[in-house]
Structure 1
Amino acid sequence: MRALLVVNPKATATSQRSRDVLVRALRSEVDLTVEYTRRRDHAVILAREAVRHGMDLVVTLGGDGTVNEVVNGLMTAEPSTVDLAQPSAERLPALAVVPGGSTNVFARALGLPREWPEATSVILDGVRLGRFRSVGLGRADDRYFTFCAGFGLDAAVVHRVEQARRRGRVSTPSLYLRAMIAQYALGTERRHPDIALELPDEVAATELATVVIQNTAPWTYIGDREVNPNPDASFDLGLDVMAVRRLRVPSTTRTVTQLLSRRSQPHGRQILRMHDLEEFTLVAGRPQAFQLDGDYLGEREKVRFSSVSAALRVIC
C-alpha cells in the first residue's frame, strides 16, 4: 500500500520527536511518502497530487484545518485522474487522521482516541485489517467540510480566536469563551436578525440571527465534554441545522446553558432545528462571518449547502 503522510509542522499536540515515531510506525506497514505543509491550502495541493500519483492512502497529522484541506484536495482532484467506473468513495485514496491539533473534532467523531499514539495504533490496525468506513461530507458552495459550518455569531467567534492565536495566544476553552462573550457584547448586531434559510420548494425561515450546521455530532468539544446542538447529526445522513432567531440576553443565556448541559439539547421559541437536510441556502441582508470545520473563511451574504453521501473512505 502506497501512502502519503501530510504533516502540519505547527500542529500543537506533537513534536518533531513524536512525528519521527509516527513516520517509523507507518513505514512498518506502508510504502510512505512524507510532505510538510508550508502555507494555508498547501495540503489541498498535496492531496490532489496523491490522487494523481495513485496513492492508496492519505494520512494527516494536524488539526481539523489540515484534515479539511486534505479532504478538499481529494474531492476536487481532476476527474481524469480517477476511475469513474468505481463507486465514488472508492475512486480516491482512503483517509486516516492522526489527531495533532488542539481539538480534533473530526478524529474524535470517528471514534479515534484523543491522543496521537493511541490513535496511530488504531489506524495501523485498520490498515492491517483493511478496516474502512464510508462517511458523508457537507458542501458549502465549492468547498467541502467534514463536521461543521457556521454562519453568523459562531463564525465571528472563530475569527476572534484566530486573531488571538496569531498574537501568540494558545487555543483553550477559556479563550473561546472569552471570544464568544466579547463578540456577543461588542461585535454582533442583535436587534435586526436578517438571515434566511431557504429550502427547495418550501417557504423560507426568516429573521434568523445565527446558524450552526452539522455533518456529524458533536459540533465541538470543551476538553472532554461534547457540545451538541444537533445530537442526531450523522456522517450517514444529511445535514442538521440549529438556528437562533433572536440573540436576546435571557434566551441566549438559556441556549448556552442547554448547550453546555450533558443531558439537554437547545430548545425553545428562539430555536429552529432541522434534521437530515439534503440541500438548503442561507441568505443574509448584510455580510455575515462564515466558517467551515473551525476555519474562518471571511464574510458572505449567500451560501448554498448540500450533503454528499458516502463521499470518502476513512480508516477508524
Structure 2
Amino acid sequence: MRAILVVNPKATTTTGRGRDVLVRALRSEVDLTVEYTRRRGHAVALARAAARQGVDLVVTLGGDGTVNEVVNGLMTAGPGDTDEDRPTAEQLPALAAVPGGSTNVFARALGLPSQWPDAAGVILEGLRLGRVRTIGLGRADDRYFTFCAGLGLDAAVINRVERARRRGRVSTPALYLRSIVSQYLLGDERRHPTIRLERPGEITEGELATVIIQNTAPWTYVGDREVNPNPDASFDLGLDVLAMRRLRVQSTTRMVTQSLSRQPNPRGRQILRLHDLDEFSLVAERPQAFQLDGDYLGERNKVRFTSVAAALRVIC
C-alpha cells in the first residue's frame, strides 16, 4: 500500500521526536512518503497530487485545518469542476487523521482518542484489519468541510482567536471564552440580525443573527466536554442547522448551557433547528464572518451549502 503522510510542522501537540516515531510506525505497515506543509493551502496541493498519482492512503498529522485542506485536495482531484467529474470515495485515497492540533474535532468525532500516540495506534490497527468507514461531507460554495461551518458570531469569534494567536497567544478555552464575550458585547450580530436561510420549495427563514452548520456531532469540544448545538448531526446524514433569531443574554446563555449538557437538546423561541438538509443558502444584507472547520475565511454575503453523501473513506 502506497501512502503519504502530510505533516503540519507547526502542529501544537507534537514534537520532532514524536513525528519520527509515527513515521517509523507507519513504515512498518505501508510504503510511506513524508511531506511537510510550508504555507497555507500547501496541503491541498499535496493531497490532490497524491490522489492523481494513485496513492492508496493519505495520513495527516496536524489539526482540523490540515485535515480540511487535505480533504479539499482529494475532493478536487478529478479532471473538472462539476459533480460528475468528482471521483467516488472508492476512487480516492483513504484518509487517516492523526490528531496534532489543539482541538482535533474531526478525529475525535470519528471516535479516535484525543492524544496522537493513542490515535495513531488505533489507525495502525485499522490499517491491519482493513477497518474503513465511508462518510459524507459538507460543501460551502466550492469548498468542502468535514464537521462544521458558521456564518456570524462563531466565525467572528474564531477570527478574534486567530488574531490573538498570531500575536503569540496560546489557544486555550479561556482565550475562546474571552473572545466570545468580547464579540458578543461589541459585535453587530445581536443588534441587527440580517441573515436569511433559503431552501428550495420552503418558506424563507429571515432575521437570523448567527447560524451554525454541522456535518457531524459534536460541534466542538471544551477540553473533554462536547459542545452539541445539533446533537443529531451525523456523517451519514445531511447537514444540520442551528440559528439564533436574537442573541439576547437569557436565550443565548440557555442555548450554550443546553449545548454543553450531557443530553443536549437546544430549544427555545429564539432558536431555529433544522435536521438532515440536502441544500440551502444563507444570504445576509451585509457581509458576515464566515468559517469552515474552525478556520476563518473572511466575510460573505451569500453562501450555498450542500451535503455530499458517501464522499470519502476514512480509517478509524
- TM-score band (shorter)? over 0.9
Q: Deviations over 1:207-248 (max 9, x none)?
A: 000000000000000000000000000000000000000011
Q: Deviations over 1:241-287 (max 9, x none)?
A: 00000011222222222222223321100000000000000000000
Name the stretch that deviates more: 135-144 or 110-119.
Answer: 110-119
Q: Distance in 2 between matches of 1:38 and 1:87?
A: 27
Q: Deviations over 1:116-140 (max 9, x none)?
A: 1111111111111111000000000
Residue in structure 2 matched with residue 259 of structure 1 by the alignment: 259
1:202 aligns with 2:202: yes
Q: Distance in 2 between matches of 1:165 and 1:50?
A: 31
The unaligned stretches of length 5 or more in structure 2 are: none
Q: Distance in 1 between matches of 2:85 and 2:91?
A: 8
Amino acid at match of 2:208: L
- Cα 1:189/1:276, change in 2 over 3 Å: closer
Residue in structure 1 matched with residue 148 of structure 2 by the alignment: 148
Residue in structure 2 matched with residue 163 of structure 1 by the alignment: 163
Preserved contact between residue 78 and residue 85 of structure 2 (Cα < 8 Å): no
Residue in structure 2 matched with residue 19 of structure 1 by the alignment: 19
RMSD: 1.4
The unaligned stretches of length 5 or more in structure 1 are: none
Cα offset, 1:85, TM superposition: 11
Q: What secondary structure does 1:240 align onto? A: strand
- Cα 1:204/1:14, change in 2 over 3 Å: same
Q: What secondary structure does 1:138 align onto? A: strand
Name the stretch that deviates more: 95-104 or 259-268.
Answer: 259-268
Residue in structure 2 matched with residue 308 of structure 1 by the alignment: 308
Cα offset, 1:53, TM superposition: 1.3
Q: Deviations over 1:120-173 (max 9, x none)?
A: 111111111111000000000000000000000010000000001101111111
Matches within 5 A, 1:1-316: 1-79=1-79, 88-316=88-316
Q: What secondary structure does 1:258 align onto? A: helix
Q: What secondary structure does 1:289 align onto? A: strand
Cα offset, 1:188, TM superposition: 2.7
Q: What secondary structure does 1:174 align onto? A: helix
- Cα 1:273/1:5, change in 2 over 3 Å: same
Q: Deviations over 1:275-313 (max 9, x none)?
A: 000000000000000000000000000000000000000
Name the stretch that deviates more: 238-247 or 117-126.
Answer: 117-126
Q: What secondary structure does 2:13 align onto? A: coil
Q: Distance in 1 between matches of 2:52 and 2:72?
A: 14
Q: Distance in 1 between matches of 2:86 and 2:186?
A: 52
Q: Deviations over 1:86-137 (max 9, x none)?
A: 9811010000000000000000000001111111111111111111000000
Amino acid at match of 1:273: R
Q: What secondary structure does 1:58 align onto? A: strand
Name the stretch that deviates more: 71-80 or 224-233.
Answer: 71-80
Preserved contact between residue 41 and residue 69 of structure 2 (Cα < 8 Å): yes
Name the stretch that deviates more: 86-95 or 238-247.
Answer: 86-95
Q: What secondary structure does 1:206 align onto? A: strand
Cα offset, 1:79, TM superposition: 2.8
Name the stretch that deviates more: 157-166 or 256-265.
Answer: 256-265
Name the stretch that deviates more: 27-36 or 126-135.
Answer: 126-135
Q: Distance in 2 between matches of 1:86 and 1:247?
A: 39
Q: Distance in 2 between matches of 1:257 and 1:155?
A: 19
Q: Distance in 2 between matches of 1:189 and 1:133?
A: 38
Q: Distance in 1 between matches of 2:240 and 2:190?
A: 24
Q: Distance in 2 between matches of 1:92 and 1:241?
A: 29
Percentage identity across aligned positions?
79
Q: Distance in 2 between matches of 1:101 and 1:63?
A: 4
Q: With the length of structure 2 as denominator, give the TM-score of the two structures.
A: 0.97
Q: What secondary structure does 2:139 align onto? A: strand
Q: What secondary structure does 1:79 align onto? A: coil
Q: What secondary structure does 1:290 align onto? A: strand
